[in-house]
Amino acid sequence: MKFFLYITDMIIPMMIFGIICYGCMMKVDVYDTFIKGAKNGFFTVIKIMPTLVGLMVAVGVLRASGFLDFLAEIIGSFSRYVGFPGELVPLTIVKMFSSSAATGLLLDTYKEYGTDSILGLIASISMACTETIFYTMSVYFMTAKVSKTRYTLTGALLSTLAGLAASVLLANMMLGT
């Protein structure tokens, strides 16, 4: 077991060392290339900053206004019939916009129901197998200047639905219910 821990501790430093060695073998000015990449990354962050701020403000407004709880109550009344707990609907909605805000809701779920409860397990698994759809789409498509997203949203929503179904099934299998 200690061997694997040692390996995992060494992966990142070895990758960095490997990239530097490869760059030197190819006679690339590694430092200048790194600086150019960092500069481009900085400008990318500046470009996406308004989108990030807008998404964070929108999630904050939804939570503070009570609209998220209202929406979750409506959706939760239907989701119970298919086996998805209504208490996790706010987490699911927020996760589509912001992973950090969803983590806050996840911690609230842990405090209220416990980490080993069925709700805690479903919430944990769903956080791991769903994506921040709107955040990812807005940031990546804006950065790449994509205007026609075609079926991305539909596919992302379907994969989120599949991830939620899998989280319910896996949590129930883990608890043997």
* Local confidence pLDDT in tens for the 177 residues of the chain: 788 888 889 999 999 999 999 999 999 999 999 999 999 989 988 888 887 788 778 878 887 898 888 888 898 888 888 889 988 998 998 899 888 888 888 999 999 999 999 999 999 999 999 989 988 888 888 778 888 889 999 999 999 999 999 999 999 998 876
Q: Is residue 150 part of a domain?
A: yes
What's residue 111's pLDDT?
A: 95
Give the C-alpha distances (Å, rounded to integers) separating 164 from 82, 100, 127.
11, 18, 9
DSSP annotation string for 103-146: HHHHHHHHHHH-TTSHHHHHHHHHHHS---HHHHHHHHHHHTT-
Q: Is residue 24 part of a domain?
A: no
Tell me the pLDDT tens digit for each residue of 68-90: 888 888 988 888 888 899 889 98
What's residue 171's pLDDT?
A: 93
Q: Is residue 11 part of a domain?
A: no
- The burial of 56, by beta-carbon neighbours within 10 Å (0-12 exposed, 13-18 middle, 19 or more buried), is given as middle
Q: Is residue 101 part of a domain?
A: yes
Reduced to 3 states (helix: H, G, I; strand: E, B; else coil), residue 78 is: helix
Report the Cα 2 to chain-centroid distance in Å: 30
Q: Is residue 26 part of a domain?
A: no
Query: What is the domain count for the chain?
Result: 1
Q: How far apart are CA 69 and CA 81, in angstroms?
A: 19
What's residue 4's pLDDT?
A: 85
Phi and psi torsions of 6, nearest 5°: -65, -45
User: One-letter amino acid identity for 57?
Assistant: V
Q: Is residue 20 part of a domain?
A: no
What's residue 51's pLDDT?
A: 76
Predicted TM-score (pTM) of the model is 0.71
Q: Is residue 53 part of a domain?
A: yes
Taking a C-beta distance cutoff of 8 angstroms, is the pair 168, 83 a contact? yes
Question: Residue 124 is part of which domain span?
Answer: 48-175
What's residue 177's pLDDT?
A: 66
Q: Is residue 138 part of a domain?
A: yes
